[in-house]
Amino acid sequence: MNTAPRRWRTSAHGFNAMLLIECPWCGPRAETEFSYGGEAGIVRPPDPDALSDAEWADYLFNRANPRGAHRELWNHTHGCRRWFAVERDTVTNQIQRSYTLDGTAPEPGTGSGTASKLTAESDTTSRIGSGG
Ligand SMILES: [Zn+2]
């Protein structure tokens, strides 16, 4: 049984033919407007020279591939072009929530990015645009 809110469902049979992703600024949109950015919460090591080759390779290439809850980075490529994080269940494709990377909760449609703080842990944007 699909327990997702009705607005997340796209078929009468309870499974999603297309994923609806909620941009924190723009609201729910079709997945075709977004680009996937990989696992959220990956932090660049503060001193890469101190790492072994195996540790550096682990940072660069190895990612979690969970069956169930997963935190992901998404970019609203064909919308506000902002990065944000999503908690998605990899089995059901249900999105539990989406949130900004700095922990703020903008009013959807405002594009302001300033509102009350979420209690969620904030992700870092260090792996985006850090360029090495
Ligand atoms: Zn957006």
* Integer Cα distance of 9 and 85 in angstroms: 20
- d(CA 97, ligand 1 centre) in Å: 14
- d(CA 84, ligand 1 centre) in Å: 9
Q: What pLDDT score was predicted for residue 129? A: 40
- d(CA 80, ligand 1 centre) in Å: 4
Contact 90, 8 (CB under 8 A): no
Domain chopping of the chain, boundaries? 6-100
Contact 38, 44 (CB under 8 A): no
pTM for the model stands at: 0.67
Phi, psi torsion values for 59, nearest 5 degrees: -65, -40
Bigger pLDDT: 87 vs 7: 87
Burial of 112 (0-12, 13-18, 19+ CB in 10 A): exposed
Q: What is the pLDDT of residues 17-70, one digit of tens each?
A: 688 999 999 999 999 999 999 999 999 999 999 999 999 999 999 999 999 999
* Integer Cα distance of 25 and 129 in angstroms: 21
Q: Which residue do the tokens 């924190």 mark?
A: 24
Averaged pLDDT score across all residues of the chain = 79
What mean pLDDT is predicted for residues 81-106? 91
pLDDT band at 104 (very low <50, low <70, confident <90, very high): confident
- Is CATH 3.40.50.150 what the domain over 6-100 is classified as, yes or no? no
Contact 20, 29 (CB under 8 A): yes
- d(CA 122, ligand 1 centre) in Å: 18
- d(CA 75, ligand 1 centre) in Å: 8
